[in-house]
Structure 1
Amino acid sequence: MSEGAMDWESLRRIVTDNDAEGRSRVLIDGSAAKLIALEEAGLAEIWSAKLSEDKLLDATDRLVDLDLVLEPEAGSVKVRWFSVAPEEEGKSPEEIEAGAAFAFGAVGAAHCRVDTTRHPAMHKTDSLDVIVLVKGAVDLLLDNDEAASLKPGDVVIQRATNHAWANKGKETALLVAVLINAPG
């Protein structure tokens, strides 16, 4: 494993539940439900729930039976870890574009790449995303602006805007995201 590389196996998710008597307990204590990783970049699903009263407390680990996709379903929330690897020097623009196209295609999100003029990883989802940088540093790129040098503890409220994450450092960045897609 290279310096700063993600150890996906060390990430732990704990999901709580109530038993039949209404007493709290641990439902899941383990690794990610789904994982896709290529070299140092990756995405690991933590939890997904429908945003209706009768489904919000459903104890089913819905991610086990769902394909790994970038966007939450309409009326759902997703929680995930994701990492952004340092940008590799010496890669051609064609190689970078091919990598981004592959990555978004692998999570059913090729259609989210609406305008990649600024960066090949630019994408837009129909969701409100709450993103917390846990480790490393990244820049948030937008069409006409950017938030540079985010550090651990910084929070981004990403509101259905075209964006990309760029890592100009030497260490893989780890982020946690809560993606909310309003009922349709």
Structure 2
Amino acid sequence: MNQQSKPFRRIVTGHDTDGKAIIVSDAPPVRSQLVGGPGGPTFFEVWHTLETPALIHYQPDETDERGLVLPPPTNGTRIRVIEFPPEGEEIRKLTGADAAAKFKSMGDEKAFTSQEGAPHPLMHRTQTVDYGIVLEGEITLILDRAETIIQPGDIVIQSGTNHAWANRSDKICRMAFVLIDGQFTNDIR
């Protein structure tokens, strides 16, 4: 199934030398990566900050980051858009080693948590608070003991929960994610 997704722009604002607000750049995100080959999701890395509170410069620029990194920087934030194609048998039948390799390719193999009997082969958990917003399509959020279908306009607030995403529809699902570095409390480590 060949589905073409609508491109989107990343508009970055800043200041001129007089301190007046300007547009620094207006273009599609400069980095995208298909994860896991054909049939896998495409990650569009939109922006990240290295700290919070974030330092505000006259002319913000992207910090140098090599490749895809799943979590935000320590004490930082990340915004990305992910396009999830319809999930096929190749995902549902992933071995543990193959699924772990997918997380390794995203720079965070320790996020992988799936074990035999897990509700989905791509279960994972990060020490982050994530805001996920469905922009187009629909997707199923899978947790250890629950699942729900998320539709356009729905927002998920994920607090370090073990989860996976499954696109059980016949169309691409596009989601925006804001990831904020976090730390587990002693009672849920």
Q: Fold conserved (TM > 0.5)?
A: yes
Seen in structure 2, the aligned counterparts of structure 1 residues 15 and 46 have a Cα distance that, compared at 3 Å, is same
User: Quick check: 1:146 aligned with 2:143?
Assistant: no
Distance (Å, rounded) in 1 between the aligned partners of 2:68 and 2:52: 22
Aligned to 2:186: none
Root-mean-square deviation over aligned CA pairs: 2.4
Flag structure 1 segments of 5+ consecutive residues without an equivalent: none
Alignment of 1:1-184 (within 5 A): 2-3=2-3, 5-6=4-5, 10-37=7-34, 38-40=37-39, 41-53=41-53, 55-58=54-57, 59-62=60-63, 64-89=64-89, 91=90, 94-95=93-94, 97=96, 100-116=99-115, 117-147=118-148, 149-182=149-182
> Counting helix residues as a fraction of each chain, which structure ranks higher?
1
State the alpha-carbon separation in 2 of the partners of residues 125 and 34 from structure 1.
22
Cα 1:103–1:155 change in 2 (3 A) is same
Structure of higher RCO (CA pairs closer than 8 Å, 6+ residues apart): 1
| CA offsets 1:35-55 (integer angstroms, 9 cap, x no match) | 1114352111101113344x4
Following superposition, the deviation at residue 182 of structure 1 comes to: 4.0
Superposition deviation, residue 146 in structure 1: 1.3
Q: With structure 1 as the length reference, what TM-score do the two structures score?
A: 0.85
Contact 2:84 2:167 in 1 (8 A): yes
Q: What's the % identity of the aligned pairs?
A: 30
Matched pairs, number: 177
The question of whether the paired residues in 2 share the 8 Å contact of 1:33 and 1:47 is answered with: no
Q: CA deviation at 1:80?
A: 0.5
Cα displacement (A) at 1:102: 3.4
Gaps of at least 5 residues in structure 2 are 184-189
> In the superposition, relative to structure 1, how do residues 102 and 162 fare at CA in structure 2: closer, same or farther (>3 Å)?
same
1:141 Cα deviation after fit: 0.4
TM-score norm. by structure 2 comes to 0.83
Letter in 2 for 1:49: T
Distance in 2 (CA, whole Å) between partners of 1:74 and 1:99 is 27
Q: Secondary structure at the match of 1:56?
A: coil
**What is the CA deviation profile of residues 146-169 of structure 1, one whole-angstrom value per residue up to 9, with x for unaligned ones?**
12x211000000111100111111
Letter in 2 for 1:44: F
2:32, 2:95 → 1: CA distance? Answer: 22
